[in-house]
Chains A and B, each alone.
Chain A
C-alpha cells in the first residue's frame, strides 16, 4: 500500500537547497555581462521634477546609461503607480535609474545627478486631508471617482467632535447598515464608545524585492522575488505589453512577501526596460532602506467604535467609522474590517461607515489579514472591557457572540462554507487552561502585573476554479506542475498531495515542477488571501482524478477488460483480483503511443486559456492529467484562529513580556501538520509585532519618516516571543471541497495581535488603550494619565 501523505509531516522537497545555500533567490542569479542599476529616490513627499542634469554622472567611469520616467509605463489621469515618476507622491519614490558596470559606480553616479524639484503640498494624516482647507495628496484633490479628482472636506463641527473623542458625522465613501442600531443601542445594558488609532506598519519581508533581467532572442528572462509565479509572468507581460509567452519567469524561491509581492511588483519594470535599452543583463539590487519605502505597508486606521451589549454579554449593536490612510495609490482594508467586525461579534444591528484617504506616505498594500487583523486587534480589548463591566467571563462573551455555521454577515449577508469558531475557542481555552488562569488575571507583584487575553480572528481562506496540470513520464514518476509561488508556506508542495493519494503513489514517486515558466505552469491563483491550499488542493485533485481515469483506460486498452476492472498502487496499475499489470512507466509510454487526450494532444475544452500554452508544451511527454476545478460550492471560504496569551506588564518600564501563547485553528483538513503549525505560530508572531512594536513615525513638518529601518520599527525577535508556543488544529473537513482543506495564512495575525492587546488591557485592569502598537511609551503615558495622540504619523517617543 502506498503511504498516507495527507496529514503527515514530510520535510519539503526544497529544504536541502534552502539549508545548503544552493537555493537561488532573485539576487543570487548572475548573467554574463550583467550590470547594476541603482534608483534615485525622491527626497520629498510630494514634488514635481522640473529638470534632471545627469551630464556629470554619465561621464563617470563605468556608467552606462540613465532611465527616466518617460521611458516606462505611466498611469495618466488617475491614481496609479509607475515604476519611475516625475511627480513623486511619497518620500522614497523612485525618480530615475542609472546603470553602471558595478554597483558602486552606479551609486556614485546617482550622487552626481542634479534634480530640480518643485516642492508641492503634502499630507500624511488622512484627517488632515479631511480638515477644512487641509492639504491634498494630489494636486487635483484628495478623492478620485468617476474619472476625475475632487476634493472632500469635513466641517469644523466634525473636527470638534473628533477633538472631543467622539465619532464625527462627516461624509463617508462607504456606508451600510443592517437592523436598527438606534433601537438596539436603546436596549443595550452597556454601551462603550472608544476612539482608536491603529498604526500603519511595513511588510518588511526578509528578502528585498531585487530583480535581475535580460533579453535573449526577443524573450525576457526575468529572475524575480514574487509570491505568485504564473500570475506574475502575466503581470510582467501586461506591464511591458508583450506576449506572455515571451516572458521566461524564474521565481524558484521567495524570501517572504506577506502581501507585498502578490504578482510581483511595480519596480520589476525597471530592470526589464533598462536591459532592453542597453542590451545588457541588469541587476536591480534593492536595499533594506529602499525596501522600506517601496516595499508596501499595511494601511493605518483612525476609527470610532460604539458597541452595545445586553446584560448576558450579547453584543447587540455596533456602530463603526473608519478613516483609512491609503498612501498615494489606495487600499481597501477598511471595507474588510467592517465585514469582519460583523462576522466576529454578530451584532445583528450594525452601521459601518468608512472613507479611505490618499496620503503622501509610502504605498499601502494587503498585508496578511488586510483589514481583518486591524479590526480584531482594535476590538478585542473593548470586549475585555465590556465583559469586566458586565461581570462576565470573556470566553463566555466570545462564545455567546461567535458565529454559527449558518451566519450571514456584512451588507449582503454573506454566507460561509464552514464555521467552527466556537470549537476553536473551546479547544484553545482548554490547552491554555483559561479557567485555571483566571486567578492570574490582573495579579500584581511588585511593579509587574499579569494579564490574559483572547484574540478571535477569521479571514478568507480559499477560492475556486483554477487548473491542475501533471504528467506521468516514462520514468514512472508523477510530475506535478505548479504555477504557484514558493513563498515558504510549503503549499506549493503540499497541494500536490491529493494527486499523489488519488494515484496511490508514495511521495518519493512525485516530482514537483515549479519556479520556471519555461517548464510549464497551469493557470493558478495568486499566492495571496490564503487561497492556495484550498484552490490548488482542489485543482490538483481534479487533475489527479483525470490522470487516474486515464491510467485505468490505458491499462484496459492495453491489457483488455474495462477500466473498472483495474486499480493502482505504488506506481503500478493492475487487474483487480490478480492478473496482468503495467508499471506507470509503461503506462506513460503507452499514453504517448495512444496520443490524443492521453498525452495531452487533446485538451479539455473548459481549462483556462492561459493553461493551454503550458499543456501544449508538455504534450507528448507522458500521460497528462489536466483539469479545471469544477467542484463548485457556495459561500465564502473562511478559516479561524483563536489565540490566547499570558503577559506580564512592567508598570515601571512599560515593557510587556509575553509568557505564554496558544493558538487553535479551524482550517479544515490538515495537509501538513508541522507546516500548519509554522503558519499559525508565525502569523501570530507577526500579529504580535503589529500589536506591540512596528509602526511608522514621520516628521510632520517635512513628511519624511524617522522609523525607516528594521531596528526603528522592529518585527519581533526570538527573545520577544515565548520559548514554547503551542498550536493545534480542529481538523474538521470543509464539506464543500473534496480534500476538506482551507487556507491559513491570514487569520493567525489578528489572533496573535488581538490576544496581546486584550491581555495588555487585562493587565491594566480592564483599561482599553485603543492604540497600536503598544510600545512602552504609549503604555507609560497611559499609566501616567497623559492623553494619547490621535494621529497616525507620529507616535510619541
Chain B
C-alpha cells in the first residue's frame, strides 16, 4: 500500500468523523491535507460536562453513607473514589472481568455496570464488609481461601470472593460444576481456576458448618 493510497483511505475514514464532529461541535476546521481529530479520553464512554453532583444516602456494609455522586457515576467509582473502599477493583470497566463484583441486596453485580443512583435504598456489600465487624473474624469464604492458599496476583480475588459469597448463600451444597457456573462471571488472568474451585468447594463446606 503506497503513501498516496493510504492517505486517501484515511481521508475517507476521518472526513466522516470530522463531519459528525462538525455537526455536533461546529468547531473543527481542516487544513488542505491534514486531519484534525478530536481526542477521545473516555473512548466510548461519554463525559457529561456540567453534570451536577447530588448528595445521596447509600447503605454499604451495614452503614449509612452520605455521598455526593454524579448522575452518570458507576457504583465502582463511587466506592473507590468517594468512599475509599478500594477493595473493589476495576479490571475492565465494561462488565468483562468481574473484578468489581459486589453484592446488591445479596445478589452479585458488576459494580462497573450499575449507576450509583440505581442502588439507593439497596443494601450493598463489598469485600471490606465480609469480616465480622465486632470480632474481625474472616467470613467462611475468606477462611476457605486461606485454607486453600488461594489466588496468585489476586487482583481478581475480591470479585471472586463476592461471587463465592453469593454462591454459598444461594447454593450451599454445590457440585464442582455448579461452583464453576456460579463463578463464570469472573475472570482470573493468572488462570488459577483449579485452586479457585478448591476454595469455592471449601467455602461451601465451611458455610454449611456455620
A residues adjacent to B (C-beta < 8 A): 9-12, 15-16, 18-25, 27-28, 30, 38-41, 43-44, 50-51, 56, 60-61, 95-96, 98, 104-123, 128, 133-135, 204-208, 253-256, 258, 285, 287-290, 487-490, 674-675, 677-679, 681-686, 688-689, 701-702, 709-711, 715-719, 721, 723-725, 727
Contacts and interface: CB of A to CB of B under 8 A. Distances in A.
Contacts of B70: 104
Contact of B188 (A15, A24, A718): A718
Interface in B127-150: 127-128, 130-131, 138, 142, 145-150
B97 interface: yes
Nearest to B131: A20
B26 interface: no
Contact of A60 (B49, B92, B97, B99): B49
Contact of A686 (B39, B49, B191): B191
B38 A113 contact: yes
B206 to A, nearest CB: 14
B48 to A, nearest CB: 7
A676 to B, nearest CB: 11
Closest 7 CB pairs of A and B: A21-B87, A685-B191, A255-B155, A110-B41, A488-B153, A488-B152, A107-B41
B176 interface: yes
A16 B41 contact: no
B210 interface: no
B43 A41 contact: yes
B36 A12 contact: no
A682 B152 contact: yes
A11 B6 contact: no
Contacts of B130: 20
B43 A718 contact: no
B41 A12 contact: no
A253 B157 CA distance: 13
B115 interface: no
Contact of B142 (A20, A108, A490, A709): A20
B153 A677 contact: no
A115 B190 contact: no
A254 to B, nearest CB: 6
A674 B199 CA distance: 13
Given A11-B146, A21-B86, A685 B154 contact: no
Interface string B55-94: 0000000000000001000000000100011111111111
Nearest to A283: B81
A220 B63 CA distance: 37
B43 A290 contact: yes
Contact of A488 (B6, B151, B187): B151
Contacts of B97: 206, 288, 710
A112 B154 CA distance: 37
A19 B40 contact: no
B90 to A, nearest CB: 7
A681 B87 contact: no
Contacts of A113: 38-39
A206 B146 contact: no
Looking at B35, B142, B156, B189, which has the most chain A CB atoms within 10 Å of its CB?
A: B189
B86 A28 contact: yes
B121 interface: no
Contacts of A38: 41
Contact of A681 (B34, B183, B192): B192
A114 B6 contact: no
A116 B31 contact: yes
A11 to B, nearest CB: 5
Contacts of A709: 92, 94, 96
B42 interface: yes
A700 B113 CA distance: 32
Contacts of B128: 20-21
A256 B147 CA distance: 23
B127 A21 contact: yes
Given A289-B43, A488-B152, A724-B176, A718 B27 contact: no
B7 interface: yes
Given A110-B41, A116-B34, A718 B145 contact: no
B37 interface: yes
B152 A120 contact: no
B78 to A, nearest CB: 13
Contacts of B33: 118
A710 B180 contact: no
Contact of B41 (A111, A489, A716, A723): A111
B181 interface: yes
10 contacts: A15-B151, A18-B157, A19-B154, A23-B154, A30-B84, A50-B31, A114-B37, A123-B1, A207-B153, A682-B152
B49 A121 contact: no
A119 B49 contact: no
B87 A114 contact: no
Given A114-B37, A725-B194, A206 B142 contact: no
A449 B150 CA distance: 35
A688 B194 CA distance: 14
Given A119-B10, A121-B3, A253-B154, A114 B93 contact: no
B186 interface: yes
A108 B86 contact: no
Interface string B115-128: 00000000000111
A686 to B, nearest CB: 5
Contacts of B6: 119-122, 135
A50 B37 CA distance: 12
Given A98-B41, A114-B36, A674-B149, A206 B186 contact: no
A22 B49 contact: no
B91 A111 contact: no
Nearest to B95: A711
A28 B49 CA distance: 26
Contacts of A675: 149
Given A685-B193, A702-B10, A108 B41 contact: yes
Contacts of B177: 723
B126 A21 contact: yes
Interface in B13-60: 13-14, 27-28, 31, 33-45, 47-50
Contacts of B180: 718-719, 723
